[in-house]
Amino acid sequence: MSDLPLLSIVIFLPIAGIPVILGLKSDAAIKWATLAILTADFLLATSLVFAFDASTATMQFAESVVWIRALGISYAVGVDGISVLFVFLTSLLGWICVVASWTAIDTKIKTFMINLLVMQTFMLGVFCALDLFLFYVFWEAMLIPMYVIIGVWGGDNRVYAAFKFFLYTLAGSLLFLVGVVVLYFEGGRSFDILVLMERDFPFHIQAWVFLAFFVAFAVKVPMVPVHTWLPDAHVQAPTAGSIILAGVLLKMGAYGFLRFSLPMLPDAAQYFAPFVIALSAVAIVYGGFLALAQEDLKKLIAYSSVSHMGFVTLGLFTFKSNGLNGAVLQMFNHGITTGALFLFVGLIYERTHTRQIAEYGGLMKVVPVYTLFLGLFSLASMAVPGTNGFVGELLVLSGAFATGKATGAIAIVGAMLSAAYMLRLIRRVGLGPLIHDKTRSLWEINGREMSAALPLAIFVIWVGFYPAPFLDILGPSLDHLLGQVLGP
Amino acid sequence: MDKQAIIRSIIVSSPEIIVILGACLMLFVALMKNKHQLNILTGLSLAIVVLAAGITAGLVGAPQSAYGDTFVVDGLAIFFKAIFFLATALTLFISKRYLEEENIGEGEYHALLLFALVGMMIMVSGRDLLVIYMGLELQALAFYVLVGYQRRDPKSTEAALKYVILGAVSSGIFLYGLSLVYGLTGTTELSAIAVSLSGEEPPGLALILAILFLMTGLLFKLGAVPFHMWVPDVYEGAPTPITAYLSVASKAAAFAIVLRIFLEGMNQVGTIWIDAVTVIAVITMALGSFVALVQTNIKRMLAYSSIAHAGIALLGIVAGGQDGVASVMLYLLIYTFMNLGMFAIIVMMRSGAVRGDNIDDYTGLATSHPFWAFLALIFLFSLAGIPPTAGFFAKFYILVALINQGYVVLAVIAVLLSAVAAYFYIRVIMVMYMKPPTRHFDLALTPMLRISLVVAGIGTVGIGLIPGWFLDQAQNAAFEAPLAQARSSSLLH
């Protein structure tokens, strides 16, 4: 390991770039500078993935500095196979957000870009933190820039959506905080995540803390019945906000389960697994039906997220190697696919200023390239073989069937539903006759938009055909995790 | 008392003496009419505060007592005095422009501020109930006048009248409790009271009454339910810098003597008062948080917010122990930065015809003044307890103290209520950031106001990022105050 604190550089590079942004006057320069910072961060994160040793489950690039001695809190970061994947995903979506906002954001550009940079640092910090206190600080600090992003640059009902997002997540997080402090005392006054993983907490502690954690993570995922903030936030947020929400923030709930609930509270996790699986099954089917009924493009994708994240939580709580691998891969996939879908809805919204499905139709005739990309990501979202969604969903399903036939059957229904609403989306937006005047004068996606779409499309197909590199990175860490949950 | 002891006493209490002399000097300076008078008064007051702070810093070390052990300079006293010096200096910084704007700059304003300061300093150094009472009354009298300082404004006069009447009643009740304690134990000295009460089992009715009266008097000063009625009216009516000063310094002083009297003197009989304080803390937090939701005047909103914050800090006293005491102290230090910062923002808005009292006055501030709006955002998120600001760490440490003693249910109630409270803070942020401006802002940005805002901002963010050093200071200063017994209301123990 090199002496350079590579991980800290990746985490703090975006925030360190803020003085540069503050010094710039012209909007174009601000955009280019933000793009440069986030692209550099992406390259660093990529080099991290290449330097990552996928043969072990230990934390790599680990750093630790005492932060608050009196309480045993330290600034400790490090990545294993799970987190390195999400660091990569976050940094990828980071610069894509800038590209997506290039023309979509036309007021207070400087403030917007600063918010994006702050957000990026906090999100990367969440995935790297090895100290519970540090994790919590990043986790909750994220609310500030996200609240501002939704509330300032969002749609007509943005204030309501921003409030709802903020208060839902805050209420959940604060219970998490109480759980964290309880673990601190029960675990011998330590916030060290690795130390706490080794502790064997008595069952009643595990159960209460699990419930406290569950509220926080379930809100973030979001699981039914605390998902109602998501459609509002997604619909009202600007494109970049939607991409961040769907691509990264939703993953954090599931990541919380992976990093804390499962390894630290294994007995409680197994005890509550049927409950979580039942909620996931409800989310898969209920979210699917809701998506089927939506007339608003963003709402449709938002509800499809509820359904897809149901697959993730289902896979996590099967405690089977396949289910777990599938769930984590599906988290990555969902970030790519749904991020891309929101990007594409944003692109068309910029042109027509409507998100109503009924106002589209026959886009294939005017903007074929756009429609092809939209079709590709829709297919990936419904998990057609050859796309990334298929691999993840298949693994989750095999885990689900191994747990119980009924669970598997319900999950299959959800998979069918996702085909139904996604095909409906493609048919009503992309195919058919060109009926609306507004859509006649649409223009094709340009080079800038293409540059954001292409990398996402590459990952859709790469994971679809050759998921091995991704599963290899995850493998040892997930095996280790499974060992922690199920015991020796 | 021999000569040496007198000299020692004078040295130990020299910061207080300097501030008293300074306050008297201010009275004379105020008489000399001069067109630079306000500058001179402000500068001299600041110099006195800095001098007193410097000498206090020199007294850091082993606890020193004076005047026959009735007056002590220990870690607790020094920590709180640091809060007072900070609050006084920042208040002086934000006062000047406000006094000019309201045209009330002449006269005894600065002298009264210094008298309030010395009253609070005596309160936290007192180890004798009578000394504490003297300090309490001195600061209260100064504040009564300061609250009504805008004598042409009916609201200010009304606030002062309410404060005087209710304050006098509460002081009377406190004094009655004090006399009962004296009757029961034959002493007014805290350590002697603790010794005398340690044999009392079970507690008699007289002792319960005495504690009830003492507590009532102090809860009034804290603005805790059910003695909170004066807070919104006084906060709204008083000149804004005085509201700011009252909300941080006076409250910190009241907490300091609660720590001294209840955790040092009355700790042995903790069973009598802990349940009551727990219930009061929860109700205070709930009432403050819920009522603040519907306020349209920002000073009234911050008044209810300060009630809610008093409730949270009371939980630190319920927790007790070293962590409990330290958590209250750290909370008050952090609260000083963030609350004074927010009040400085209100003073900044007070310009010309605009009073800057209504939340709607802030509409669209971020569009034209992004930096100052950003500072307001920091203060508000800190008050709401969102990391990485200091307000989060303050709340976090209270939670740590609570859970350490097994009060998990209380911790859960506290965090849920603070989620409610977050709503009204972020509502102000919403108004500043998410609405288009409806008017042209003419901010009262004098250099002194800028400095105070930036200092408060640095404190709020700085303690949030590196709380370690401040935490150490609070822990070192906190005396060991082990609770008589942990109660059985805990969920996880």
Q: Are B425 and B383 in contact (CB under 8 A)?
A: yes
Per-residue b/e over A461-478, b at no fewer than 16 CB within 10 Å? eebbeebeebbebbbbbb
Q: Are A356 and A393 in contact (CB under 8 A)?
A: no
* Interface with A, mutate which of B325, B434, B460 (most A CBs under 10 A): B434
Arithmetic mean of pLDDT, A285-305: 90
- The helix (H) or strand (E) run that includes residue A62 is strand A60-68
For the stretch A333-347, pLDDT in tens is: 999 999 999 999 988
Count of domains observed in chain A: 1
* Residue B263 is assigned to a structural domain of this protein: yes
Closest-approach residue (CA) in chain B for A110: B370
Structure tokens at B333: 């230090």
What residue type is B265 in one-letter code? G
Q: Give the span between the Cα atoms of A165 and A265, in whole angstroms.
A: 28
**Helix, strand or coil for residue B358?**
strand
Which residues of chain B fall short of a pLDDT of 50? Answer: 480-493
Q: Give the span between the Cα atoms of A233 and A410, in whole angstroms.
A: 28
- Which residues in chain A are closer than 8 Å to B419, comparing Cβ atoms? 167, 170-171, 174
* Residue A190 is assigned to a structural domain of this protein: no
- Which residues in chain A are closer than 8 Å to B377, comparing Cβ atoms? 144
In sequence order, the 6+-apart residues with CB closer than 8 A to the CB of B307 are: B223, B224, B225, B228, B231, B284, B287, B288, B291
Q: Give the span between the Cα atoms of A447 and A439, in whole angstroms.
A: 20
Closest among A370, A310, A300 to A338, alpha carbons compared: A300
- Which residues in chain B are closer than 8 Å to A144, comparing Cβ atoms? 377, 381, 386
In sequence order, the 6+-apart residues with CB closer than 8 A to the CB of A105 are: A112, A153, A238, A240
Q: Are A143 and A169 in contact (CB under 8 A)?
A: yes
Q: Are B335 and B309 in contact (CB under 8 A)?
A: yes
Query: Dmax of chain A from CA atoms?
Result: 69
Q: How far is the CA of A25 from the CAs of A19, A20, A29, A30, B375, in angstroms?
A: 12, 10, 7, 7, 21
* Interface with B, mutate which of A178, A208, A219, A226 (most B CBs under 10 A): A178
Structure tokens at B256: 């300091």
Range of the domain at A338: 265-488
Count of domains observed in chain B: 1
- Which residues in chain B are closer than 8 Å to A171, comparing Cβ atoms? 416, 419
User: Nearest CA to CA, how far is B479 from chain A (Å)?
Assistant: 16
Q: Identify residues of B whose CB sits under 8 angstroms from chain A CBs.
A: 366-367, 370, 377, 381, 386-388, 392, 396-397, 399-400, 403-404, 408, 411-412, 415-416, 418-419, 422-423, 426-427, 429-430, 433-434, 466-468, 471-472, 475, 491-492
- Which residues in chain B are closer than 8 Å to A70, comparing Cβ atoms? 468, 471-472, 475
- Which residues in chain B are closer than 8 Å to A136, comparing Cβ atoms? 387
Closest among A343, A345, A426 to A379, alpha carbons compared: A426
Helix A297-316 / helix A321-352 crossing angle, nearest 10 deg:
170
* Residue B307 is assigned to a structural domain of this protein: yes
Residue A62 backbone class (left: φ over 0; alpha: ψ -120 to 50; beta: rest): beta
User: Nearest CA to CA, how far is B416 from chain A (Å)?
Assistant: 6
User: Nearest CA to CA, how far is B465 from chain A (Å)?
Assistant: 9
* Interface A-B: count of C-beta contacts within 8 A: 92
* Residue B22 is assigned to a structural domain of this protein: yes
User: Nearest CA to CA, how far is A483 from chain B (Å)?
Assistant: 28
* Residue B443 is assigned to a structural domain of this protein: yes
Q: Among A373-377, A447-451, B380-384, whose mean pLDDT is lowest?
A: A447-451
- What does the pLDDT read at residue B201? 64
Q: Are B307 and B223 in contact (CB under 8 A)?
A: yes
- What does the pLDDT read at residue B492? 34
Q: Give the span between the Cα atoms of A417 and A286, in whole angstroms.
A: 10
Residue A455, preceding peptide bond in cis (omega within 30° of 0): no
* Residue B482 is assigned to a structural domain of this protein: no
* Residue A120 is assigned to a structural domain of this protein: no
* Residue A300 is assigned to a structural domain of this protein: yes
How big is chain B, counted in residues? Answer: 493
Residue B68 backbone class (left: φ over 0; alpha: ψ -120 to 50; beta: rest): left
* Residue B485 is assigned to a structural domain of this protein: no
- What does the pLDDT read at residue B493? 35
Query: Residue A170 and residue B408: Cβ atoms within 8 Å?
Result: no
What HEC string does A333-401 produce? HHHHHHHHHHHHHHHHHHHHCCCEHHHCCCHHHHCHHHHHHHHHHHHHHCCCCCCHHHHHHHHHHHHHH
Arithmetic mean of pLDDT, A472-479: 88
What's the ipTM?
Answer: 0.91
Query: Residue B404 and residue A185: Cβ atoms within 8 Å?
Result: yes
* Residue A99 is assigned to a structural domain of this protein: no
* Residue A298 is assigned to a structural domain of this protein: yes
- What does the pLDDT read at residue B405? 87
Range of the domain at B102: 3-477
* Residue A109 is assigned to a structural domain of this protein: no
- Which residues in chain B are closer than 8 Å to A208, comparing Cβ atoms? 408, 491-492
User: Nearest CA to CA, how far is B408 from chain A (Å)?
Assistant: 8
CA dihedral B281, B284, B290, B291 (to 10 degrees): -170
User: Nearest CA to CA, how far is A143 from chain B (Å)?
Assistant: 8
> H-type helices in A245-316, by residue range?
250-256, 262-264, 266-292, 297-316
Residue showing tokens 């009419």: B33
Closest among A174, A68, A185 to B321, alpha carbons compared: A185
Q: Which of A67, A144, A185 shows the shortest C-beta gap to B403?
A: A185
Query: Residue A175 and residue B412: Cβ atoms within 8 Å?
Result: yes
Q: Which of B403, B430, B466 shows the shortest C-beta gap to A182?
A: B403
**Helix, strand or coil for residue B153?**
coil
Q: Give the span between the Cα atoms of B286 and B263, in whole angstroms.
A: 24
Closest-approach residue (CA) in chain A for B429: A148
For the stretch A105-123, pLDDT in tens is: 888 888 899 999 999 999 9
| Res A386 pLDDT > 80 | yes
- What does the pLDDT read at residue B399? 93
- What does the pLDDT read at residue B364? 86
User: For residue A178, what pLDDT band results from cuts at 50, 70 and 90?
Assistant: very high
Query: Residue A163 and residue B423: Cβ atoms within 8 Å?
Result: yes
Give me chain A's average pLDDT, please: 89
Q: Which of B419, B471, B472 shows the shortest C-beta gap to A170?
A: B419
Query: Residue B475 and residue A70: Cβ atoms within 8 Å?
Result: yes
Q: Give the span between the Cα atoms of A297 and A201, in whole angstroms.
A: 46
Q: Give the span between the Cα atoms of B48 and B39, in whole angstroms.
A: 14
Structure tokens at B159: 């606030």
Closest among A428, A465, A442 to A369, alpha carbons compared: A442
User: Nearest CA to CA, how far is A423 from chain B (Å)?
Assistant: 37
For the stretch A313-334, pLDDT in tens is: 999 998 888 889 999 999 999 9
Query: Residue A151 and residue B430: Cβ atoms within 8 Å?
Result: yes
- What does the pLDDT read at residue B1? 61
**Helix, strand or coil for residue B491?**
coil
* Residue A162 is assigned to a structural domain of this protein: no
- Which residues in chain A are closer than 8 Å to B466, comparing Cβ atoms? 67
* Residue A473 is assigned to a structural domain of this protein: yes
- Residue B425 has φ and ψ, to the nearest 5°, of -70, -45
* Interface with A, mutate which of B330, B403, B470 (most A CBs under 10 A): B403
Q: Are B93 and B38 in contact (CB under 8 A)?
A: no
